């Protein structure tokens, strides 16, 4: 495996292969910050149970701490250990996961309430990207927010991402991402689907589920 040193820091750059994924997962397990490709944009993440790592991502993104981070999970089964799924959420997840849909659900994992400073809800997604899923297979779940300073555009090109994002520990290069943009975010209240942010999936596509 060829590991390249990032000029302006100590971050490693690895390819999206078995060795790269293994190295990235080790760094995450040790509290590190990873930048990685997803099916929507390049993301930045860490172990969501590690409060210090979570705080570092807030700093990297210059993000308001009042704005919670979404979490990427390897599977619906793992998501079910974190949050409660009602019948509508079950149906939606079955149709659109893996995929560009983030679902806000009732949080049942008290450890995540503490580490992510959440009250009673969490935004979860299973991404449809082999590289991300291989990383999640090792880590189970990751904070999965776009790898850009808050208020700036998301990155699809790895070189642009590397130029503009700082203070992470490892970059997993998955090449240029081709997508319709960020994930659509929904919340389900009283069996009704409420679109919080329309992204790659339209409201009509979701309501037709």
The DSSP code for 118 is -
Domain 4-207 homologous superfamily, CATH = DHBP synthase (3.90.870.10)
Q: What is the pLDDT of residues 172-203, one digit of tens each?
A: 999 999 998 899 999 999 889 999 999 999 98
Domain ranges across the chain: 4-207
Q: What is the pLDDT of residues 159-173, one digit of tens each?
A: 999 999 999 999 999
Per-residue pLDDT at 6: 41
Q: Residue 209: which pLDDT band, with cuts at 50, 70 and 90?
A: confident
% of the chain at pLDDT higher than 70: 95
Q: What is the DSSP string of 51-110?
A: HHHHHHHHHHHT--TTSPPPEEES-HHHHHTTEE--HHHHHHHHHH-SSSEEEEEEE--H
Phi/psi for 143 (5° steps) reads -60, 135
Per-residue pLDDT at 9: 54
Q: What is the pLDDT of residues 100-119, one digit of tens each?
A: 999 999 999 999 999 999 99
């Amino acid at each position: 495996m060829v590991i390249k040193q990032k000029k302006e820091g100590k971050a490693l750059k690895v390819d999206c292969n078995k060795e790269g994924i293994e190295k990235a997962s080790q760094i995450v397990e040790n509290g590190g910050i990873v930048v990685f490709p997803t099916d929507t944009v390049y993301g930045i993440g860490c172990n969501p149970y590690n409060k210090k790592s979570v705080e570092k991502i807030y700093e990297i993104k210059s993000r308001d701490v009042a704005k919670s981070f979404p979490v990427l999970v390897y599977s619906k089964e793992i998501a079910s250990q974190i949050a409660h799924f009602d019948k509508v959420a079950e149906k939606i997840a079955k149709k659109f996961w893996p995929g560009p849909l983030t679902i806000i659900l009732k949080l049942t994992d008290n450890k995540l309430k503490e580490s992510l400073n959440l009250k009673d809800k969490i935004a979860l997604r299973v991404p449809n990207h082999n590289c991300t899923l291989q990383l999640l297979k090792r880590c189970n779940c990751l904070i999965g927010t776009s790898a850009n300073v808050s208020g700036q555009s998301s990155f699809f090109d790895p070189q642009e991402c590397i130029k503009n994002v700082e203070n992470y520990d490892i970059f997993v290069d998955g090449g240029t991402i081709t997508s319709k943009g960020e994930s659509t975010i929904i919340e389900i209240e009283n069996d009704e689907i409420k679109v919080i942010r329309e992204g790659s999936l339209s409201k009509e596509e979701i309501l037709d589920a």
